Amino acid sequence: MPVNYLLIESLQHFHYYYGNDFKVECPTGSGRFLTLDQIADELSSRLARLFLKGEDGQRPVLKYHSKLAMDPHFKDYILFHEYFHGDSGRGIGASHKTGWTGLVAKLLQPQFTPREIHDRKAKKI
């Protein structure tokens, strides 16, 4: 998770420097060109989907832990695992003292441009 977060944050910083004119094919071979900020948003969305309920009503991070996934007393308590399975999203490794994974909360927050932030502060929104 820390590497993913740092990559996303770096893409956002590079976008601030290069702007909307600099585009990269994403995913490679797709023919679809996105700005670095759009790529950062795409990666953020992919990470966030690990913790959000899918079409089947289950969270990929908990899908293979039946007690945590289905029990009404536990299904909304999300563990922030140390690692995640690359194909299924299942949480693996330690599920305690993994503060880096908590960075996903920042990825779930709405993103604003520097101009929008300035305008919001000026209006005290």
Does residue 6 lie within any of the structural domains? yes
Residues of the chain with pLDDT under 50: 125
Tell me: do 70 and 33 sit in the same domain.
Answer: no
Tell me: do 59 and 28 sit in the same domain.
Answer: no
pLDDT at res. 66: 81
pLDDT at res. 7: 92
Tell me: do 63 and 36 sit in the same domain.
Answer: no
Tell me: do 2 and 27 sit in the same domain.
Answer: yes
Does residue 38 lie within any of the structural domains? yes
Q: What is the pTM of this model?
A: 0.71
pLDDT at res. 13: 93
Are the C-beta atoms of residues 48 and 107 closer than 8 Å to each other? yes
Tell me: do 35 and 62 sit in the same domain.
Answer: no
User: By residue range, what is the domain housing residue 16?
Assistant: 1-48
Number of domains in the chain: 2
Does residue 117 lie within any of the structural domains? no
Tell me: do 88 and 64 sit in the same domain.
Answer: yes
Residues 6+ apart with CB under 8 A from 114: 16
pLDDT at res. 76: 82
pLDDT at res. 117: 63
Tell me: do 94 and 70 sit in the same domain.
Answer: yes
pLDDT at res. 17: 93
pLDDT at res. 106: 74
pLDDT at res. 113: 61
Tell me: do 32 and 1 sit in the same domain.
Answer: yes
Tell me: do 13 and 36 sit in the same domain.
Answer: yes
Are the C-beta atoms of residues 60 and 81 closer than 8 Å to each other? no
How far apart are the C-alpha atoms of 83 and 79, rounded to whole Å?
11
Nearest-10 Cα torsion for 103, 109, 114, 118: -120
Tell me: do 1 and 44 sit in the same domain.
Answer: yes
